[in-house]
Structure 1
Amino acid sequence: MSRSYKFWDQEKLYFVSFATVNWNDVFTRPLYKDIVVASLNYCSEKKGLEVYAWCIMTNHVHLIIGSHSEPLEAIMRDLKKHTSKTILKAITENPQESRRDWILWHFARAGRNNQNNKDYQFWQQNNQPILLDSNFLIEQKLHYLHQNPVEAGIVSEPEHYNYSSAQDYADSKGPVKIILLE
């Protein structure tokens, strides 16, 4: 992993993005997005993850996070490991999943090409954390994260997207417990 893709200062906020292997559009079904939501809430409650903003797109996740307890790299490792296993199981067991064989083929192929995996690789290896060391960067990444579903044509307003913290910043309550940035 390159030097620029590490959590250097555990006391700071980071913008983190991570994507599925081959940018496969897995998160087109609420079932799979809900697994990520549940994992974010679990990591907040049990591992000390501080979620300031989040957004789940069709093939990637954006977060603004911090932690004052467990190291962020450990939390991210556990989050990605748990979600990959749980989502792969859900894909395998979902009778409505018409793309099952195609999706699993991609993840199995990636898993065979990576010695760190036994069978499947769901997430790309890196998290690409970006240190948010200024108000300008925080505002820029928060805006980018919340505008992502609008730019993708999923919704017309950020707060209309159910899988984003934009609802919380618009004075509604979203499904992930967050800490509002001021």
Structure 2
Amino acid sequence: MSRKYKFRSQDDLYFISTATINWIDVFTRSLYKDIVVESLRFCQREKDLDIYAWCLMTNHLHMIIGTRGRKMEHTLRDMKQFTAKRILEALAEHPEESRHDWMLWMMERAGRRMPGNDIYQFWQHDNHPIAVFTPTVLLQKLHYIHQNPVVAGFVERPEDWLYSSAKNYYSSDLPLLDVLLIE
């Protein structure tokens, strides 16, 4: 099946968005958010993923990414499989989670509709990759990513959101594009 949005070249930067199934607000607890952050760090170290900007919201993740070799779609697939498994395990280990039964029911229901799925569907399949070709588009996507928690009313300043790269950009004295290009 062809999708409109694809990774067309591994040499380009991409803005990606991925969400939990049915936009379930799973990432309201640090336990679940930390699993995603740990997995992203692993992908940077071991799977050639370059993350230039990111923001994890309550039910979705935005990033600007590139690669040093491995296909981005394969890395994202692996990251999503790993985090889904670990978060589902965490839910099973913490039945006192107030939304435990409801979240598992929703994920199981979604999983039954997906061919080849084991039991649960945690993430939506698409990553909605958009190639970032110009500095203007790059800055627009960077602003969009970091303003997400502000627009949602969670924080007043982007750099105050803990699960985001905004603090790396807004606390620097360097121009924004210079920060982006420095490792």
TM-score (norm 1): 0.93
**Any idea what the Cα deviations from partners look like across 1:10-45, whole Å, max 9, x if unmatched?**
011000000000000000111100000000000000
Spell out, residue by residue over 1:58-81, the C-alpha distance to the aligned partner (whole angstroms, 9 max, x if none).
Answer: 100001000021010110110111
Find the aligned partners of 2:167 and 2:110 in 1 and give their Cα distance: 35
Match for residue 105 of structure 1?
105
Task: Specify the SS of the correspondent of 1:73.
Answer: helix
C-alpha root-mean-square deviation of aligned residues, in Å?
1.4
Residue identity in the other structure for 2:152: A
Partner of 1:5, secondary structure, is coil
Aligned pairs, number: 176
Distance 2:63 2:110 in 1: 24
Contact 1:52 1:180 in 2 (8 A): no
| Offset of residue 118 of structure 1 | 0.9
Any stretches of 5+ residues in structure 2 without a counterpart?
A: 173-177
Conservation of the 8 A alpha-carbon contact between 2:159 and 2:171 = no
- Show the counterpart of 1:129: 129
Aligned identity (percent) is: 55
Q: Can you list the C-alpha shifts for 1:103-139, whole angstroms capped at 9, x where unaligned? A: 0000000000101311000001100000001111100
TM normalised by structure 2 equals 0.92
Letter in 2 for 1:63: M
The aligned residue for residue 71 of structure 1 is 71
Counterpart Cα distance in 1 of 2:144 and 2:2: 24
Deviation at 1:181, TM superposition (A): 1.3
Q: What is the rounded CA distance, in whole Å, between the counterparts of 1:2 and 1:17 in structure 2?
A: 18
Indicate the SS of the match to 2:39: helix
Alignment match, 1:25:
25
Q: Which runs of 4+ in 1 moved over 2 A?
A: 1-4
Asked whether the 8 Å contact 2:47–2:75 carries over to 1, the reply is: yes
Q: Cα offset for 1:92?
A: 1.4
State whether residues 54 and 62 of structure 1, in contact with CA within 8 Å, keep that contact through their aligned partners in structure 2.
Answer: yes
In structure 2, the partner of 1:175 is none
